[in-house]
Every structure is written in C-alpha cells, then in structure tokens.
Structure 1
Amino acid sequence: MTEQPVVPQPDLMTSVNTIGGFQPAHMDEVLRRACAVAGLDATDARVLRGHTNAVVLLDREPVVVKIARRGSPQTDALRTVRFVRWLMEQDFPTAPLHPIAAEQPVVVDGHAVTFWTHLPQPPHPVQAEQLAAPLYALHNLGTPPVELPERDNVTAIRSSITRITDVPTPLIDALSARVDKHAEELPGVQFLHPKTAIQGDPQHRNALHHGNSAVLCDWDTVAWGHREWDLVTIEIHCRRFGYGTEHYRDFAKSYGHDVTTWEGYPTLRDLRELRMITTNARKISHAPESRAEVIRRIEGLIEENTDLRWNIL
C-alpha cells in the first residue's frame, strides 16, 4: 500500500457543525436524550465522523452512537437494525449493535439514532485485502429475511443532479449527459453472478479491524443487487484515493475475481464514480469546503482522466 489516509477525529461534540452541517447545540441535545432512553451516559462524547450521519464515541461507555439527519426515513434505520441483527445471528463479521435498554432505532426530534459496540482501532485503516473475506461471505449468504432496496445507481445519480445548487451549470449539464450515456449502456451489461445482498459502499473506512481480521460496518447502503457493484467500488477507492494498484490486486486475489478484467467494468466504474461525485456535489451546502474538490473531480471526468487522485472529503 502506497499511502494510508487518516480520517481526522475532532475532540469535542461541538465540532459536529464543522464536519457534518449539524448545529452543535441541537446535536448535543439529541445525543443526550437518545442516550437517556438507551440507559447510557453521553457526558464528554467525541465526534468520529460527520459527513452524512453524526457518529459519536461515548466517553463513559464502549459505545458508538450514529445520529441520522432529521428527515432521513426512520424505516431505513429500522431496516439496517434488522439486517445487522440477522448478520449477527449468522456469526457474520460485522460491527455489532450494542444492547441497550430500548428498541433500536431510538427516534429523537426526527433523528433516528442507533447504538453500536465500540471496537478500538489502530491508527492505520483496514487494507483492501482484508475486505475480501467478509465481502465474499456476504455475497454468498443467500436471501436475508429483510426486504432490501434494489440497487439503482442511475436513479440515484439523476436525483442528486436535480439537487445540486453550488456547481456551475455547464458542469451539471456534463454530469447529466454522462449519466444518460451510461444508462443506455447498462441494459447491455452481462453480469456474471445473480443478485444478492451487497454492502453498497464497501471501502477502507466502512470496515474495522477486529483481531487479526476485519469486520464490515456502516450498513446504511445495504441493497439487493449484483456483487460487481461492490467489487468495482473497492477498485475505485484503491485507484482514486492513493492506496495503489498492488493494494487492489491483493484484494482481487483474495476475493478470487478481478472485476477490471470483466467487459462490463468500464460502465459500472463510470456510473459508480458518477454516483460518488454527484452525492458529494448535492451536499456542498452542508460542506462548502468540499466545493473545490467536487469541481476538480467533475472536470477530471470530463477530461476522461481515470487516474486523477481524489482527496478524501
């Protein structure tokens, strides 16, 4: 591996607004009330991440609390809870839900809140090769007893494009043209495997060290679809975020398949990168510091620069 990006970890709950667009006083209140329902102590909690959800580590308990934005469908959080409970029953390598004195999710002022057992981590991220075994296991678990949404990247991309407000119109038009082009290609793609449960966004930051192996986490994107979407996501993260070619090759060897050798790879790669870019583009209002990087990525796509290094947002 050529480089291992490190996610900054602010020290105070009051920094939520700088990394996730949340108002700190309100988030602190939501956290306190949710923890009271769960029978936990929220004193001196520390933010771990805040890009989409606020992810907070409790100081007095070995618990990570995930707070969804207000308005996020509560049914999504409930589906995640039910799916992860099923995984835990299968002894699947997943970050475990933490037992609390209430049913999950706990809903406070429109925010769905879930609780997870904290797994202490070393300073270096999980390597792509470590993702191979749990992903392969997931793709071969069979049909879960939880209805999962169908993976539909084209619809998700188009939805995000309609909500972009802080990117020049010519660049938005270019994104629309690209998704239309690849949407026409997608029906002709011959997938190698039947549909199954997929993680949706498998990557180094959506996995955790656990002993000598790794477990998957962040199941908000779990879906029903072709495993090739997961495999191409791993390849993109290795190529775009500086981990290096060898890092991906180790993953492919361990998984038993190199998705880049498949004829459908370019279409899935381009659609998956479009989804990553358009998702970040529609969130610029919550994270204005990301605007320059988002525009740089869009310009790279227009130039067909598949090797452009992306900075982590």
Structure 2
Amino acid sequence: MTAPIHGGFAESEMRHILQGACAAVGLDAGGAVLLRGQTNAVVRLAAHPVIAKIARRGTDPQDVYTTVQFVRWLMDLGFPTVSLHGAGDQPVIFDGHAVTFWTYLPQPEEPVPADALAKPLCTLHSLGRPPVELKRLDPIAAIRTSLSRTTVLPTEDFRYLHHRTDHLERALGSLRYDLAPDSILQGDPQHGNALHDVHGAVLCDWDSAAIGQPEWDLVTVEIHCRRFGYGLSHYQRFAEAYGWDVTGWEGFRTLSDLRELRMITTNARKAAHEPAKIAEVRHRIDGLRRVDTTRIWNIL
C-alpha cells in the first residue's frame, strides 16, 4: 500500500523536516498532530500554541519568504489575519524545504460562515498595492501548468479540459470588470481559509495572494457556497455584507467557469500522489460536460 502523502511528503519525511525546523527555532515537535495535508502539510505542535506549515514539495522558498513579508505587513496594519509566531526570521529552511510557524487559534466545530469573510475581503481589496512584490493573478497559466503535470486522467478528459481552457481564455480576453483593478487578492477565500478569532474572523493561508481583479475572490466564495452544500442563502448573506453581488455581473459565468476549472485541474495534478482524488475530479469533470452548475462537490 502506498505510504500516506502530506504536502507531497511521506509521513516519515514530513516528521523529519518538522523535527529539524522546530529544533532550529527552539520548539518541541514531539506529539505534533497533522491537521491538513492536501496542499501544504499543516501541523499543530502539542507542546506549544503553534501551527507549523511545511510548504508543499517543490515550492520555491523565495515564494514562502514573500508570503511571510506580506503577512508581516498585514499584521503591522492591524489587518485581521492569522499571526506569524514570534519575531524571528521565517521561513526556516530545512533540507531545502520551507517551514513557517503561526499562532494556533482553537476552533469550534462550525467553520467560519461566508458572511464573516466579507468585511476582511472588502478591506483587503481596498488596501492598494503592498510594499511586497506579489505575483499577478494568471489563472490560465496556472491551469495549463497543472494540466502539463497531470498524469492520471483518461485521454478524453485531457482533451476536454484543454478545449475548455482554450475557450475560456478567449472569453477572458473580452471581459469588462466592474471593480477596481490591481487589487490585493487573497486568491482562495473560503470557509477553510479563515479562522474564528475573539474579534470575529481572520483570514489565513496566504499562499495564493496575488494582484488582480477582486471579482476573482468573490466568485471563489460563491463557488464554495454553491458547490460544497452551504446553499444560496449562505452566499446571499456574504454578498449583502460585502456590498456587491458578483452573480449580477455580466462576466460572472465566464470567471466562475474559469475558477472551477482551476480548482479541478489543481486537484487533477495532485492526484498523481493522492489517487483517492481521481474519482472526485472525474465527478466534477462529468458535471462540467453536462453543464450542471448545481452539482455538489466533495471537498478534497
């Protein structure tokens, strides 16, 4: 049986990296508990109120450094973000892998509701350009990269996804946006990328932060509400709190289709190491073929 993969690492390798990074900053890795491993390996330390995040195998440490600098800027502004742990230099590099440390916030069972994301996102979108050089959002390039690294789909699915990418790339070029260009984007705002805090909700998981159109963040929230079973009223409360409903924008369907395609191709790429994802990826592709915009997806 294939060893479990967390962030691209087998269990023993992940533990080795965690031990080395913790030792470098004086933290105890004993008894640490894996919380998530679908993208990065996210681990809660048992001996400290700290979360360790081991960047996914192959991640450029410079990208992680940029994320750290960006979050420190947000922290200095008093923006509602999860905080980096300590004032020392991050990321910690161990065996060539980047590890960051974050303040642990105990969470109730209920995820952060979508409407609690509205105020932080609205504030983020109005901050202007940060003093850190964030990448510009390029979903087409990201989709094509994922497809080039995907090895587990049948040929007919590959052809369909490439054709759909070509079609959406043409449609993207003619979109007219309503919101301000060159805004800071969280990149993947959703229930799982926010945490309850004593003052409300804070955003986390800033790996996808970019410069682009706020509509991208807003369609991401709408998709998560619609595809993962939260329901229309859940999204409507978000739109009311944000002050603008992206579903009423003429470019909504194109950008929503593009966002869903990126979600599908990202998971198709990861399925090479996580075969359990394949059935769900194909379930989603089948829904696209049938133009089924209400089909419920399972979280990967």
**Shorter-chain-normalised TM-score: which range?**
over 0.9
1:252, distance to aligned residue in structure 2 (A): 0.1
Residue in 2 that maps onto 1:27: 14
Query: What is the aligned length?
Result: 298
- Contact kept, 8 Å, 1:95 with 1:215, in 2: the verdict is yes
Runs of 4+ that moved beyond 3 A:
18-21
Residue in 2 that maps onto 1:234: 221
1:190 maps to which of 176, 185, 188: 176
Helix, strand or coil for the counterpart of 2:102?
A: strand
Residue in 1 that maps onto 2:54: 67
Using the alignment, how far apart are the partners of 1:153 and 1:139 within structure 2? 18
**CA shift digits 1:14-35 (9 cap, x unpaired):** xx92554421111111111100
1:134 maps to which of 120, 132, 138: 120
Residue in 2 that maps onto 1:149: 135
- Contact kept, 8 Å, 2:7 with 2:57, in 1: the verdict is no
Using the alignment, how far apart are the partners of 1:217 and 1:230 within structure 2? 14
Using the alignment, how far apart are the partners of 2:262 and 2:57 within structure 1? 22
Residue in 1 that maps onto 2:150: 164
Residue in 2 that maps onto 1:301: 288
- Contact kept, 8 Å, 1:129 with 1:254, in 2: the verdict is yes
1:265, distance to aligned residue in structure 2 (A): 0.4
Counterparts of residues 279-294 of structure 1 (less than 5 Å):
279-294=266-281
Unaligned runs of 5+ in 2: none
What letter is aligned with 2:270?
K
Helix, strand or coil for the counterpart of 1:221?
A: coil
What letter is aligned with 1:113?
V
What letter is aligned with 1:145?
P
Helix, strand or coil for the counterpart of 1:188?
A: coil
1:250 aligns with 2:240: no
Q: What is the TM-score normalised by the length of structure 2?
A: 0.97
Using the alignment, how far apart are the partners of 1:229 and 1:295 within structure 2? 24
Residue in 2 that maps onto 1:112: 98
Q: What is the TM-score normalised by the length of structure 1?
A: 0.93
- Contact kept, 8 Å, 2:83 with 2:103, in 1: the verdict is yes
Residue in 2 that maps onto 1:13: none
1:92 aligns with 2:79: yes
Residue in 2 that maps onto 1:12: none
Residue in 2 that maps onto 1:174: 160
Residue in 2 that maps onto 1:10: none
Using the alignment, how far apart are the partners of 1:212 and 1:192 within structure 2? 31
2:195 maps to which of 203, 208, 217: 208
Using the alignment, how far apart are the partners of 2:57 and 2:267 within structure 1? 18
Using the alignment, how far apart are the partners of 1:156 and 1:28 within structure 2? 30
**CA shift digits 1:266-304 (9 cap, x unpaired):** 110000000000000011112111110100101111111
**CA shift digits 1:148-205 (9 cap, x unpaired):** 1010001111111111111101011001111101100111111112221100000000
Helix, strand or coil for the counterpart of 1:310?
A: coil
1:212, distance to aligned residue in structure 2 (A): 4.7
